[in-house]
Amino acid sequence: MSNANNNGVNLSYGVNLSDGVNRSYGVNLSDGVNRSYGVNRSDGVNRSDGVNRSYGVNRSYGVINSFGVDNEIFCANKQREYKVFGVEVSEKRFNEVMSGIKYAMNGWYPKFNTAFELYIGSGKDWNKVKAGEIKSTLDNDLEPYEAWKDMPKDGLEYIKSLPEFNAGIFNCVTGIDVEAKNESTVNIGGVDYLASDIEEALKDIKPV
C-alpha cells in the first residue's frame, strides 16, 4: 500500500495526495473517494470506475471532465448546473443569491449537529474533532425542521423576495409555511384566543 501525504486512507492502493479514501485503487489528488478505481483529481467519488477530473460522481463508469454525475456510463464534459429553487440560473446569479443569503442570515445557519461548534472549539482544526463527539441537535433526524425554525427575519424576507422563490419547495426543506395566515389573537382572562374564532362566536349574539 502506498500512503504518502494522505489522511483517512483504509484498504486502498496506489493512493497519492488524497484524503478520506476507503477501499479504493489508483487514486491520485482526490478527496472523499470510496470503493472506486482509476480515480484522478476528483472529489466526492463513490463506487465508480475510470473517473478523471470530475466532481460529485456516484455509481458511474468512464467519466471525464464532468460535474454532478449519478448512475451514468461513459460521460464526458457534463457542465456544472446552477439552480435556485429548481430554476436554472447563471453562475453569476447563483453567487449573487448565495452571498445575499449569507449576508441576510448574519452568521446564522441551520444546526443539524454539533460538528461545527466542535470545529470552532478545536481552533478550527478538523483533525482535532472526534467523530464520536458529534451529536445531533434534533430529536428526530427524519424531521429536520427544528433546525430551521429560528431563521432570522431578515434572512427569511430576503429569500421570499427572490424572483425564483417557490413557497412549496421552501416549506418542504424548512417546514416554514410562508403562505400561512398570521392571525391576530385576543387575550381574555389570561388566555389567548384567535380573533377569527371570537368573531365567529359573536355572530349569533345580539349587541346590547
Q: How confident is the model at residue 36 (pLDDT cuts 50, 70, 90)?
A: confident
Closest CA to 12 of 20, 21, 4, 41: 21
- Asked if residue 52 is part of any domain, the answer here is yes
pLDDT score of 79: 94
Q: What pLDDT is attached to residue 148?
A: 87
Residue 24 in domain = yes
Choice among 16-20, 26-30, 44-48 with the minimum mean pLDDT: 16-20
What was the pLDDT predicted at 170?
A: 94
Same domain, 65 and 103: no
Using the predicted structure, report yes or no on whether residue 72 has a pLDDT greater than 80. Answer: yes
Both 51 and 8 in one domain: the answer is yes
C-alpha to C-alpha distance for 43 and 32, rounded to whole angstroms: 6
Q: How many separate domains does the chain show?
A: 2
Q: Which grid coordinates are listed for 100? A: 445575499
Mean pLDDT taken over the chain: 80
pLDDT at 11 over 80: no
Query: Is residue 20 within 8 Å of 35, Cβ to Cβ?
Result: no
Q: Residue 95: which pLDDT band, with cuts at 50, 70 and 90?
A: very high
Q: 100 and 155: one domain?
A: yes
Is 106 contained in some domain?
yes
**Same-domain check for residues 170 and 89:** yes
Does residue 197 form part of some domain? no
Interatomic CA distance for residues 120 and 183, integer angstroms: 41
Is residue 158 in a domain? Answer: yes
Same domain, residue pair 161 and 121: yes
Last residue of a domain, one of 76, 96, 130: 76
If asked whether residues 41 and 72 sit together in one domain, one would say yes
Largest CA distance in the chain: 92
- Find out whether 138 and 146 touch, Cβ atoms under 8 Å: yes
Q: How sure is the predictor about 133, in pLDDT bands with cuts at 50, 70 and 90?
A: low
Nearest one of 31, 32, 5, 1 to 16, comparing CA atoms = 5
Q: pTM to 2 decimals? A: 0.64
Last residue of a domain, one of 59, 76, 93: 76
Kindly indicate the confidence band of residue 26, based on its pLDDT and cuts at 50, 70 and 90. Answer: confident
- CA–CA distance from 167 to each of 88, 130, 178 (Å)? 17, 38, 7
Q: Is residue 199 part of a domain?
A: no
Whether residue 208 lies inside any domain: the answer is no
107-to-57, 80, 155 alpha-carbon distances in Å = 31, 27, 10
Alpha carbon 34 to its chain's center? 20
Grid cell listed for 165: 422563490
Q: Is 116 exposed, middle or buried (0-12, 13-18, 19+ CB in 10 A)?
A: middle
Whether residue 125 is found in the same domain as residue 144: yes
CA distance 162 to 186: 34
63, 100: one domain: no
Domain that holds residue 142: 84-174
Give residue 42's pLDDT.
78
**pLDDT value at 204 more than 60:** yes
End-of-domain residue from the set 17, 52, 76: 76
Query: Can you give the pLDDT at residue 22?
Result: 74
- Whether 15 and 47 share a structural domain: yes
200 φ/ψ angles, rounded to the nearest 5 degrees: -65, -40
Stretch 174-191: mean pLDDT:
74
Contact partners, residue 163, CB within 8 Å, separation at least 6: none
Statement: residue 55 has pLDDT above 70: yes
Task: Please compute the mean of the pLDDT values over residues 160-187 and round it to a whole number.
Answer: 84
30 in the same domain as 90 = no
Do 52 and 95 reside in the same domain of the chain?
Answer: no
Q: Provide the percentage of residues in the chain whose pLDDT is more than 70.
A: 76
Average pLDDT in the 15-26 region? Answer: 75
Residues 69 and 89 in one domain: no
Residue 2: which pLDDT band, with cuts at 50, 70 and 90? low
Assigned domain for 48 exists: yes
